């Protein structure tokens, strides 16, 4: 039986604890289990975060084990090594696949029937690994994918155009990593094609601006890690947004990573594209139109991921 008021977070480092903090404030759940190999860390975070609950929503927050997470509606997995300065997300693959081999089978053993939200990097490869290791239907294994990158894109465009970033309809798709791409061809603001909106706001140098902004988005994590050694607030809000979409059965469209089954000619990899998210998890992928250059970039991104999946012997 799934308890709709319960969430679990596996991995209580920067990302896990920030996500737990964001979830405590969200009011979406009344019970939260924190799990970490470092039990003391999970206990400390549970105590600290629970002391904020009286200012937000009543919630039972405690350090626990996989048995405690068996009936959770969502398990958020953030465990694993993080990028060090100069490291790419794909560099983390062997360490984090090994960590996932010690986590996902435990989740399977306790009979978890909820939704697995994968956040650790490289998130696309680990989402694929979690689908294989968990035995869960693929609709219930969601990678946070390019949700954060898309927020970074909206933020940058909102700033450039002097408009609320939430009104910017533009996606980053592909790998959550160096090969991701912005879908400029179908981007718009309030239904006005992006380039027309830019001109309306006095910006005419489209190619250079697009190249600058996508480069900033691709390198955002590197810039943050170079300065403060980790990124966590943006991803924590992305986790909260995804949990809200799931628990509210919102049917909203977010660019999560999930198993491709022939979309754009891609299959047997997990990669991000806009997707309808509801209480059942992945409801339907939305094949937004891509121009030839974008399609080529997406295929190159998928090929890079496919090679890593092979090297990690996950197939």
What are the residues facing 188 on neighbouring strands?
169, 193
Q: Does 80 bind ligand NAD (CB under 6 A)?
A: yes
Distance, first Cα to last Cα, the chain: 31
Cβ contact 10:121 at 8 Å: no
Among 93, 104, 148, 269, the residue binding ligand NAD under the rule CB under 6 A is: 148
Among 23, 32, 70, 78, the residue binding ligand NAD under the rule CB under 6 A is: 78
Q: Does 83 bind ligand NAD (CB under 6 A)?
A: yes
Whether 176 is catalytic is: yes
Active-site residue, selected from the candidate residues 176, 203, 206, 299: 176
Torsion region of 280: left, alpha or beta (phi above 0 gives left; psi -120 to 50 gives alpha): alpha
Among 33, 59, 82, 170, the residue binding ligand NAD under the rule CB under 6 A is: 82
Q: Does 144 bind ligand NAD (CB under 6 A)?
A: yes
Residues 93-132 that bind ligand NAD (CB under 6 A): 96, 99, 102-103, 119-121, 123
Query: How far are the Cα atoms of 16, 43, 126, 215, 261 from residue 231, in angstroms, in the given order?
Result: 11, 22, 18, 18, 31
Number of residues interacting with ligand NAD: please give it, by CB under 6 A.
32
Site string for ligand NAD, 20-39 (x = CB under 6 A): ----------------xxx-
- Mapped onto helix, strand or coil, the DSSP state of residue 271 is strand
CB-based contacts of 143: which residues, under 8 Å, 6+ apart? 118, 119, 123, 124, 126, 127, 176, 256, 257, 258, 270, 272
- For residue 74 the two structure tokens come to 């969502």
Site string for ligand NAD, 149-188 (x = CB under 6 A): ---------------------------x------------
Q: Does 13 bind ligand NAD (CB under 6 A)?
A: yes
Q: Among the residues of 1-50, which ranges form H helices?
A: 14-26, 39-50
Residues 224-283 that bind ligand NAD (CB under 6 A): 230-231, 235
Q: Residue 269 and residue 291: Cα distance in Å, rounded?
A: 22
Q: Report the binding-site residues for substrate.
A: 83, 89, 121-124, 149-152, 231
Q: How many Cα atoms sit within 13 Å of 2 on the Cβ side?
A: 15
Q: Nearer to ligand NAD by C-beta: 134 or 144?
A: 144
Minimum distance between the CB of residue 192 and ligand NAD, rounded to whole angstroms? 29
Interface positions with ligand NAD (CB under 6 A):
10-16, 36-38, 41, 78-83, 92, 96, 99, 102-103, 119-121, 123, 144, 148, 176, 230-231, 235
Tell me which residues are annotated as active site.
Answer: 176
């Amino acid at each position: 039986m799934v308890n709709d008021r319960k969430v679990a977070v596996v991995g209580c480092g920067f990302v896990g604890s920030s996500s737990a903090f964001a979830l405590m404030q969200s009011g979406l759940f009344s019970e939260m289990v924190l799990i970490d190999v470092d039990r003391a860390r999970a206990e400390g975070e549970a105590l600290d975060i629970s002391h904020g609950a009286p200012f937000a929503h009543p919630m039972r927050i405690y350090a626990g084990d996989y048995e405690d997470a068996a009936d959770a509606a969502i398990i958020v997995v953030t465990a694993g090594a993080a990028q060090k300065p100069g490291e790419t997300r794909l560099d983390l693959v062997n360490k984090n696949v090994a960590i996932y081999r010690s986590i996902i089978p435990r989740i399977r053993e306790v009979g978890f029937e909820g939704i697995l939200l994968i956040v650790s990097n490289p998130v696309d490869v680990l989402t694929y690994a979690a689908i294989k290791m968990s035995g869960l239907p693929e609709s219930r294994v969601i990678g946070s994918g390019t949700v954060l990158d898309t927020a970074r894109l909206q933020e940058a465009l909102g700033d450039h155009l002097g408009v609320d970033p939430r009104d910017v309809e533009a996606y980053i798709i592909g790998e959550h990593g160096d090969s991701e791409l912005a879908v400029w061809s179908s981007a718009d603001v309030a239904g006005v094609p992006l380039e027309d909106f830019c001109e309306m706001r006095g910006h005419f140098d489209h190619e250079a601006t697009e190249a600058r902004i996508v480069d900033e988005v691709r390198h955002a994590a590197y810039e943050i890690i170079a300065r403060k050694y980790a990124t966590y607030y943006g991803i924590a809000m992305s986790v909260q947004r995804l949990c809200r979409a799931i628990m509210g059965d919102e049917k909203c469209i977010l660019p999560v990573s999930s198993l491709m089954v022939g979309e754009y000619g891609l299959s047997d990899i997990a990669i991000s594209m806009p997707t309808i998210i509801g209480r059942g998890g992945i409801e339907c992928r939305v094949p937004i139109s891509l121009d030839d250059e974008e399609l080529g970039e997406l295929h190159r991104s998928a090929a890079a991921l496919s090679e890593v999946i092979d090297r990690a012997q996950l197939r």
